[in-house]
């Protein structure tokens, strides 16, 4: 809906100028990138490569790391530093997924 608030006559009223169907609305840009680490193949050099990849692809998305907890504790989610903001472009997510450390990566 596109419109204005009319406060000229007493109580504010909403003046509708145009109604849009939900499918006609512009999609909201992703605000977060999630990276789930695999439980195997943890290697310091691979973490450094992944870090360099992410630092080299800056964007607007907050990064969240998902790490499997020991036993059956589920998973721990860690919000990365605000200095590590990543682009959510599919080609970049594909590069992140190609790391042997990463089980999955998605945008939200």
Give tens-digit pLDDT for 68-106.
887 777 899 999 999 999 999 999 999 999 999 999 999
Given a contact cutoff of 8 angstroms between Cβ atoms, the answer to whether 9 and 67 are in contact is: no
Q: How many domains does the chain have?
A: 1
Dist. CA 86–CA 108, nearest whole Å: 12
**Within-domain flag for 18:** no
**Domain range enclosing 85:** 26-107
**Within-domain flag for 2:** no
**Within-domain flag for 103:** yes
Dist. CA 30–CA 53, nearest whole Å: 19
**40-56, pLDDT tens digit by residue?**
777 899 999 999 999 99
Place of tokens 């990064």: 63
Given a contact cutoff of 8 angstroms between Cβ atoms, the answer to whether 93 and 107 are in contact is: yes
**Within-domain flag for 13:** no
């Amino acid at each position: 809906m596109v419109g204005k608030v009319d406060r000229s006559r007493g109580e504010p009223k909403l003046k509708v100028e145009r109604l849009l169907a939900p499918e006609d609305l512009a999609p909201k840009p992703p605000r977060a990138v999630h990276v789930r680490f695999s439980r195997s193949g943890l290697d310091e050099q691979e973490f450094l490569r992944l870090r360099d990849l992410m630092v080299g692809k800056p964007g607007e998305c907050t990064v969240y790391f998902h790490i499997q907890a020991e036993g059956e504790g589920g998973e721990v989610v860690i919000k990365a530093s605000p200095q590590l903001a990543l682009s959510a472009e599919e080609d970049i997510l594909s590069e992140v997924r190609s790391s042997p450390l990463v089980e999955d990566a998605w945008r939200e």
